[in-house]
Amino acid sequence: MKLSCIQENLHKGLQVVGRIARPGGSLPILSNILIKTEKGRLKLSATDLEIGISGYIGAKVEKEGALTVPARILIDCISMIQDKKINLEVDKETLSIKSEKYSTKIKGIAASEFPLIPQIKEKDTTSLAASIVRESISQVLIAPAIDESKPVLSGVCLKLGDKKIKIAATDSFRLSEKIINLEQETEKKEAVVPARTLSEVLRILTLTESSSVSIRLSENQIMFIIDSVEVVSRLIEGSFPEYESIIPKETETTSTLDASEFQNALKLCNLFAKETGGTIKLKIEKDKIIVSSSASLVGENTSTVLAQNEGPEVEISFNARFLLDVLGVISSPTVSLGVTGKFNPALIKIPRKNDFLYLIMPLKEG
C-alpha cells in the first residue's frame, strides 16, 4: 500500500473510528485499526466484535493494500504531526508514515487477521435529519440501566410504524420516550439497540458535519450511515417491556415552571442530599414549588421556584440526579411536571409538545 492524504482528514477519521478499539483485551487485533485502500479512498475500520465502525477519507492512492496498526499509537502519532500532507506506505507488516519533518514506522498485524465487520445489504429503513437524531439519542440515553443483569434494559427500544419512530429506554426507576414523526410510512419493526452503540453514534455526530443519518435494520443487526461513516452493531436479544401501559394518561397536579430556575434549585439542594442518597423533596403549592433537602452532617437548603400550578397541593420526593438528568437534555425554556399523589409516577414533558416524555418514580419517605 502506498498513498498520500491530508493530516487533518486522517486525524479526524482516526478519531471517529478509533475509540471502539480496546487495548489490553484477549485478542490483540481488536486494539488495532484496519487501514485499507478501497475505491480510490482510504478506509479506516475498528471493531470490538459487538460494534464495528468504518470511515472513508480522500487519498491519492498509488498502490493498493491493507494493514492493521495499534489504534492508540497511530492516533497519537498522527495528532502530533504538524505537516499538512502525510505519506503512508506498507512494507510487509510495517507502516511507514512520512511527512516533510517527520518519519515514523509502526509494527502492525496482517489485515487478514482482522475480524469481518458485517454489512447490511437491505435498503435504508429510514433517513432522518442529523439534528433530530442527535436530540433524540441524547434525550433517551439518560434512562437505560447500567447494570446488564437484564440485557434488554441496558438497551434502547426502537419501534417503527404508523409514520413514526418511538425510541424508549428504562432502568425500572425512570423511563424516557422520544417520538419522531415521519413523512412516509415504514415497515413495522422493533429492535433493542445497545445503549453504547447509540452513544457512539451521538459521539460521531458531534465530530462530523453530517446533515442526515440513514438507518438500516435487519433481523439481528442495525447500521447507521453518517456521511462516509458506517456504524454496525448487534442487536440485543429479547423483548423490551410493554412500557406504554404504565404511562399516566392524565395527572392530578400539573406545574409549568422555568427549566433553568428549576435546574438551579435542584443543583443547590443536591449539595445537601448526598447523605440521603440524593433524596430531595418537592412541595407543590398554589403558585410555587419548594425544593428542599437536608443532611445532618452538612446542613440543609430550601429553594423556591415560581410555577403555574393546577390541581391539589402535594409533597413528593425524588432522586435529584434523575431530575437533573432530564433537565440537562431539554432545550425548552419551560418544563411541565405532572404528579398524581406522592406515590405514583410523575411525568415531565415539554409544554405544548407531545414528542417527548420522561416518567420518574417517586421515592418512599423514611
Task: Please provide the DSSP assignment of 226-294 as one string.
Answer: ETTEEEEEEPPPSPPP-GGGGS-S--SEEEEEEHHHHHHHHHHHHTT-GGGTTEEEEEE-SSEEEEEEE
At residue 288, the pLDDT reads 97
The arithmetic mean of pLDDT across residues 193-200, rounded, is 97
The average pLDDT across 57-63 equals 96
* Contact status, residue 214 vs residue 224, Cβ threshold 8 Å: yes
Q: Looking at residue 253, what is its pLDDT?
A: 97
Mean pLDDT of the chain: 94
Per-residue confidence (pLDDT) for residue 168, from 0 to 100: 98
Residue among 193, 190, 168, 194 nearest 179 (CA): 168
What is the average pLDDT across 275-293? 93
Residue 285 has pLDDT above 70, yes or no: yes
- In the chain the domains, ranked by start, together with CATH numbers, are 2-113 (3.10.150.10), 126-245 (3.10.150.10), 248-360 (3.10.150.10)
pLDDT category of residue 183 using cuts at 50, 70 and 90: confident
Q: What is the pLDDT of residue 364?
A: 84
Tens digit of pLDDT for each residue in 97-106? 999 999 999 9
pLDDT of 213 higher than 90: yes
Q: Residue 259: count other Cβ atoms within 10 Å of its Cβ.
A: 20
Any idea which of 15-29, 38-52, 61-75, 201-215 has the lowest mean pLDDT?
15-29
Residue tagged 487477521 (cell numbers) = 113
What are the φ/ψ torsions at residue 96 (nearest 5 degrees)? -100, 130
pLDDT at 291: 97
Summarised one tens digit per residue, pLDDT across range 298-354 is: 899 999 999 999 999 999 999 999 999 999 999 999 999 999 999 999 999 999 999
**Residue 365: pLDDT band with limits 50, 70, 90:** low
